Amino acid sequence: MEFLELLNFYIIPGLVLGSIYALGAVGITLVFAILRYAHLAHGDIATLGAFVAFAAVTLLGLPVYAALPVAMVVTAFAAVGIDKLFYDYLRERPRIVTVMASLGVALMVRSLVQVIWGVDAESYIRGIARPENWWGIRLKDREIVTILTMIGLVLALQLFLMKTKWGKAMRAMSDNPNLALLSGVDNGKVVFLTWLIVGGLCAASGFFLGLNTELKSMMGWQMLLPMFAAAILGGVGRIEGAVLGGLIVGVAEEVSVIFIPSEYKAAMAFVILLLMLLLRPTGLLRGKVL
DSSP for 20-58, please give it: HHHHHHHHHHHHHHHH-S--TTHHHHHHHHHHHHHHHHH
What percent of the chain lies above the pLDDT cut of 90?
A: 67
Cα-Cα-Cα-Cα torsion 234, 240, 242, 245, nearest 10 degrees, comes to -50
DSSP string, 241-272: HHHHHHHHHHHHHHHHTTTS-GGGTTHHHHHH
* pLDDT over 60 at 289, yes or no: no
As a whole number, mean pLDDT of residues 221-250 equals: 92
pLDDT digits (tens, 9 = 90+) for 177-235: 778 777 878 888 999 999 999 999 999 999 999 999 999 999 999 999 999 999 999 88
Residue 258: pLDDT above 90?
Answer: no
CA 214 to centroid of chain Cα atoms: 16
- Per-residue pLDDT tens over the stretch 30-68: 999 999 899 999 999 999 999 999 999 999 999 999 999
Burial 83-95 (b: 16+ CB within 10 A, else e): beebbeebeeeee
For residue 290, pLDDT over 80 is answered with no
Q: Report the C-alpha gap between 290 and 144 in whole angstroms.
A: 28
Based on the number of CB atoms within 10 Å of its own CB, is 22 exposed (0-12), middle (13-18) or buried (19 or more)?
A: buried
CA dist 247 and 242 (Å) reads: 9
d(CA 103, CA 92) in angstroms, rounded, equals 18
Which residues, listed in sequence order, are joined to residue 176 by a DSSP beta bridge?
A: none
Confidence (pLDDT) at 127 = 65
pTM for this entry: 0.94
Distance CA 285, CA 148 (A): 23
- For the chain, helix, strand, coil in percent to 5 are 75, 5, 25
Kindly report the average pLDDT of the chain as a whole number: 90
For the chain, the distance separating the N- and C-terminal CA atoms, rounded to the nearest angstrom, is 42
Region 142-152: mean pLDDT is 96
Please list the alpha-helical segments (H only) found in 83-176.
Answer: 95-117, 141-163, 165-175
The DSSP letter of residue 264 is G
List the beta bridge partners of residue 206: none
- Tell me the torsion sign for CA atoms 228, 232, 237, 240: negative
In terms of C-beta density within 10 A (0-12 exposed, 13-18 middle, 19 or more buried), how is residue 12 classed? buried
Reported confidence tier of residue 1, pLDDT bands at 50, 70, 90 = low
Cβ atoms of 82 and 191 closer than 8 Å: no
Question: What are 101-124's pLDDT values in tens digits?
Answer: 999 999 999 999 999 999 999 999
Total residues belonging to the chain? 290
Question: Cα separation of 144 and 84, whole Å?
Answer: 36
- Kind plus residue range of the DSSP H or E element containing 137: strand 137-139
CB count within 10 Å of CB 10 equals: 18
Q: What is the second-level CATH architecture of the domain 3-119+136-279?
A: Orthogonal Bundle (1.10)
